[in-house]
Structure 1
Amino acid sequence: MKSKLTSCLMEFYKDKLISDKIRIFEISGVILTAVGKFVFMDYLNWRLLFVVFAIISWGVYIFYRYKKERGVLKYWGFRTDNFKKVFKLMLPFALVSIITFLIIGYFNNSINLTWHVIPLLITYPIWGVVQQYLTISLIAGNLKDLKSKKLNNILIILITAVLFSIVHYPSIWLMIGTFILALFYGYVFLKQRNVYVMGVFHGWLGALFYYTVVDRDPFQEVFLNIFS
């Protein structure tokens, strides 16, 4: 019953409450955030400040929309009614991904697992939820539900994956990894909207990817360098 009510709510928001103007505004906001990533994270190296600013800014927007339209959170994928279902759907992909990371890391001699991965496994899912909300929910979700332009799911997933990959330039490994991730995430989201599960897996897989394939230490880069 709860699942059916949620599905009805999704259709209501898709067809009635959210205009194409709002959808384009949200997509533009995500693109602007991506541009800010290149300026503030890559060029100015203000990684932590940018992440905090992005979380707060989009958090304010989410709260504003929630106050006006209470059901918009579930429409965006902030829901728990299908948490177990989506978790089980994504678990095999996550396990295969981790095995792949270890194999690539072994042959590239890039495995560098330290205790630094532990705080990232705890905190990175928060940023992962934000990224999935921006990339998958606001890009893929809005492209899917545009009234003026109907796009098929394959094209929507490809557009989303390409955009998500470009944001991780110039790291080739990150671009490849996020492209594949977004292909699968886009498919899952269009079937079962849940950014919580996607964010958790994004955080866990992302943290392990850095320490096994990319051979970088984000904990050192973001946190420890501030105090050095």
Structure 2
Amino acid sequence: MKLNTRLFEISAVASTAFGKFIFYDLLDQRLIFIILMFAFWGIYVFKRIKNSPQILKHWGFRLDNFSLILRRVVPFGILSVLTCIIIGYTQGTINIHWHILPILALYPLFGTLQQFLLMALVAGNLQDSGKLNERTIILISSTLFALLHYPYWWLVIGTFILAIFYSYIYLKSRNLYVLGIFHGWLGAIFYYTVVGLDPFDEVFGVLGL
């Protein structure tokens, strides 16, 4: 991959992160941001595929190692869910609502996109450059991922720890499907237990749902 392409992708991810703070934190227009983000990156991915069909597998959109990576992720996922429940119960923030069902269905899509941006386009491009060692790449990716969840400090701490695991798995095997599903489901459980917020209401509340 050309250096200019790597720089563009990393810059575009940074711009997306900046847009998150504008639309989420300043304008309170989460749904609009999500729609725009999926549209922009959907078009970009489509164009990259036309020019380089093999790029999908390189990014991590692959099924050949799905079961192998799933077996590696499941134990960590179970431990993470139990930790969320214990923390939520201890601090009295468990807020289970029927909204968790559509969130569990939708969040893996959003989770896969986030993993694509942070893992494939940041960690993957840094790895492809050959200029940084694995530990440095993991630290950079984890820090960026955590900062995206500011100002919710539970999310900043939790996502930093998780991103270390995500990055390690990704750099070894490059599978976005497993990480996307894991990220989506665990993120939903984290919101409804540790944080005590309802992401469905935050995103779709403007529609009166």
TM-score w.r.t. length of structure 1 = 0.90
How far 1:223 moved relative to its partner? 1.1
Instruction: State the Cα distance separating 1:142 from its structure 2 match.
Output: 0.3
Larger radius of gyration between Structure 1 and Structure 2 = 1
Residue in structure 2 matched with residue 121 of structure 1 by the alignment: 104
Q: How far does residue 156 in structure 1 lie from its aligned partner after superposition?
A: 0.2
Alignment-derived partner of residue 10 in structure 1: none
- 1:74 to 2:69 alignment: no
Tell me the number of residue pairs that the alignment of Structure 1 and Structure 2 aligns.
209
The structural deviation recorded for 1:20 is 1.4
The residue aligned with 2:67 is 84
Aligned CA RMSD, in angstroms, stands at 0.9
- Aligned match for 1:199, one of 180, 200, 203: 180
- Any idea what SS the aligned residue of 1:200 has? helix
The one of 137, 146, 149 aligned to 1:156: 137
The 1-side partners of 2:7 and 2:153 are apart by: 29
User: CA–CA distance in 1 between the matches of 2:46 and 2:75?
Assistant: 34
Runs of 4+ in structure 1 over 6 Å off: none
**Counterparts of 2:168 and 2:179, CA distance in 1:** 12
Aligned position for 2:83: 100
Aligned amino acid, residue 97 of structure 1 = S
Alignment partner, residue 9 of structure 1: none
Shift of residue 21, structure 1, vs aligned partner? 1.4
**Aligned counterpart, 1:139:** 122
Out of 115, 130, 139, the residue aligned to residue 113 of structure 2 is 130
1:64 equivalent among 43, 47, 50: 47
Q: What are the ranges of 5 or more consecutive residues in structure 2 without an aligned counterpart?
A: none
User: Which residue of the other structure, out of 36, 41, 56, is the alignment partner of 2:24?
Assistant: 41
Give the share of equivalent positions with the same residue, in percent.
Answer: 52
